[in-house]
Amino acid sequence: MHTAVIIGTGNVATHLFEVFKTNSFLKTIQVVGRTAKGLAPFKNQVTVATDFKTITEADIYFIAVTDKAIAPVSNYLGDRNGIVVHTSGAVSMGVLSASSKGVFYLLQSFSKDQKVVYNRVPICIEASSVSGLDFLKKLGNSISETVYELSSEQRKKLHLAAVFANNFSNHMYAVAAQLCEKNAIPFELLHPLIQETAQKITKLSPKEAQTGPAKRNDILVLQEHLEVLDDKTQQRLYKTISEAIIEFHEEKL
Amino acid sequence: MHTAVIIGTGNVATHLFEVFKTNSFLKTIQVVGRTAKGLAPFKNQVTVATDFKTITEADIYFIAVTDKAIAPVSNYLGDRNGIVVHTSGAVSMGVLSASSKGVFYLLQSFSKDQKVVYNRVPICIEASSVSGLDFLKKLGNSISETVYELSSEQRKKLHLAAVFANNFSNHMYAVAAQLCEKNAIPFELLHPLIQETAQKITKLSPKEAQTGPAKRNDILVLQEHLEVLDDKTQQRLYKTISEAIIEFHEEKL
């Protein structure tokens, strides 16, 4: 059994702690956070500390804090033998000051209270040494069916792609919900369509799956939709995204 | 058992024909289309016709043709006793010239070859008479768990909401797939996140479910993402959608 320290008390830290509770490869021996309040949910389950100078020796240190705090926190761990990893999609491995370092990025949008089927969450790993990579691979495989090695450069691009696939698609749902609400239409009517759209792209590429007036370049419907929208921001979204779809599906001459 | 004529041979017509095959309330007695080619998949299963002047008498006529053709096609049915309905989200009931008229709108993005679980597809109905509405309600309930009465005005808004929820969210997946492809990252890594995002809004409102740098108004990450994108259209999308999210989540002063 290997040992881990988790630094951070947010969503990712909480989920890591949960998943390691039943993990046969790794055991959390300490959770470190800035405030007693953040540590409260952990303190009856594991040793906790607010002083970063008292971090216990372990095989792996997870820095699961906000992006900006990763580098400063890693300075406390510069001389450790264990591997120091952060859990961010957007930050390079290079910001870590440890000699054995890596990244352990769970590609999921975590909410604190949400149940997650961890074996379906892709884990993207990176390490500064072959042995480190091997360790993260084994750890990843003890959690998830999908463990994938990505460079810092690739992970940044994946993180950006996830903004489109998750954050931006969610805002499309938000606009749809707003239009429904304004017109006394239950948003629930759109739930099956949303599910189906998300399912479809596991069988077809999103390009093949595209439908709608912009895909058909149906100027009349596009014009009418723009007139029906009475919100300036919604109009701008409609126009910009429709133009992008038209361009994306244009036959190359 | 009631009788139906389906006019049209596209996706919606094909799906209506499929669903009525096993329906105990309604039986298709004729399919009418402009071309023999379009009618080919139907001709061994039901009476077909290319001449709109030879439409059989029936209890209900489905005009499942492109939006622009609905009004002209309905002129062939001006003197019928059965109810004449179209199946479009975007067109008013008023364009139909029949005395008993209505709308039977299946809120799903249909592809011809795709299996659909019809009892999960919401059906939006509208009718010019109480008896017509009652008939469409019974018919709807024989197909789907969700039958909802909407005015033409509401249906137009719902159709527009569906463009955001379906077409636009799908284009977000397409951009994500393009970013993955460009950087040798398997798009499959994003499948679970996409499914989860679509599932989440059945439990939380999309507004509550929103995450990401724009929601947090994290200027540094937003700026960095814009620099990482090397495609002008993707940049424009990123900027426009992020600004809309920031505005949508701004605390009202």
Q: Which residues of B touch A222 (CB under 8 A)?
A: none
Cβ of residue B69 closer than 8 Å to a chain A Cβ: no
The predicted pLDDT at position A110 comes to: 72
How many Å apart are CA A201 and CA A197, to the nearest integer? 7
How many Å apart are CA B89 and CA B86, to the nearest integer? 9
Contact in structure between B62 and B82 (CB atoms under 8 Å): no
**Beta-bridge partners for A6:** A31, A62
Quick: pLDDT tens for B182-237: 999 999 999 999 999 999 999 999 999 999 999 999 898 899 999 999 999 999 99
Can you read off the two tokens belonging to residue A166?
């998750």
pLDDT mean over A195-211? 94
pLDDT at residue A238 above 90?
Answer: yes
Residue contact A194–B165, C-beta within 8 A = yes
Q: Which residues of A touch B241 (CB under 8 A)?
A: 168, 171, 237, 240-241
pLDDT at residue B114 above 70?
Answer: no
Contact in structure between A124 and B153 (CB atoms under 8 Å): no
Contact in structure between B30 and B47 (CB atoms under 8 Å): yes
- Structure-token match 């805002």, residue found: A171
pLDDT at residue B39 above 80?
Answer: yes
DSSP for B184-195, please give it: T--GGGGHHHHH
CA proximity to B162, closest of A183, A109, A165 = A183
Angle between helices B219-228 and A152-162 (to 10 degrees): 110
Between positions 183 and 212 of B, the ones with CB within 8 A of A are 183-187, 189-202, 205-207, 209-212
Can you read off the two tokens belonging to residue B116?
């659909």
The predicted pLDDT at position A117 comes to: 85
How many Å apart are CA A105 and CA B199, to the nearest integer? 22
pLDDT at residue B116 above 90?
Answer: no
pLDDT at residue A253 above 50?
Answer: no
| C-alpha R_g of chain A | 22
Can you read off the two tokens belonging to residue B57?
């008498």
CA distance A54 to chain B (A): 31
Percent over 90 (pLDDT), chain A:
92
Residue contact B198–A193, C-beta within 8 A = no
- Return the amino acid letter for A131: S
Between A and B, how many residue pairs show a Cβ–Cβ distance under 8 A? 297
pLDDT mean over B32-56? 97
Quick: pLDDT tens for A88-99: 998 999 999 999
Which value does ipTM take for this structure?
0.91
pLDDT at residue A128 above 90?
Answer: yes
Quick: pLDDT tens for B151-181: 999 999 999 999 999 999 999 999 999 999 9
How many Å apart are CA A17 and CA A27, to the nearest integer? 9
pLDDT category at A115 given cuts 50, 70, 90 is: confident
CA distance B218 to chain A (A): 11
Can you read off the two tokens belonging to residue A66?
């906000």
pLDDT category at B109 given cuts 50, 70, 90 is: confident
Contact in structure between A18 and A41 (CB atoms under 8 Å): no
Residue contact B170–A120, C-beta within 8 A = no
Cβ of residue A133 closer than 8 Å to a chain B Cβ: no
Quick: pLDDT tens for A12-65: 999 999 999 999 999 999 999 999 999 999 999 999 999 999 999 999 999 999
CB-closest option in A158, A237, A247 to B189: A158
Q: Which residues of A touch B105 (CB under 8 A)?
A: none
pLDDT mean over A131-143? 97
CA distance A46 to chain B (A): 29
Percent over 70 (pLDDT), chain B:
97
Residue contact A193–B148, C-beta within 8 A = no
DSSP for chain B, please give it: -EEEEEE--SHHHHHHHHHHHT-SSEEEEEEE-S-HHHHTTTTTTSEEES-GGGPPP-SEEEE-S-HHHHHHHHGGGTT-SSEEEE--SSS-GGG--SSSEEEEEE-S---TT----GGGS-EEEEESSHHHHHHHHHHHHTT-S-EEE--HHHHHHHHHHHIIIIIIHHHHHHHHHHHHHHTT--GGGGHHHHHHHHHHTTTS-HHHH--STTTTT-HHHHHHHHHH---HHHHHHHHHHHHHHHHHHPPP-
The predicted pLDDT at position A111 comes to: 66
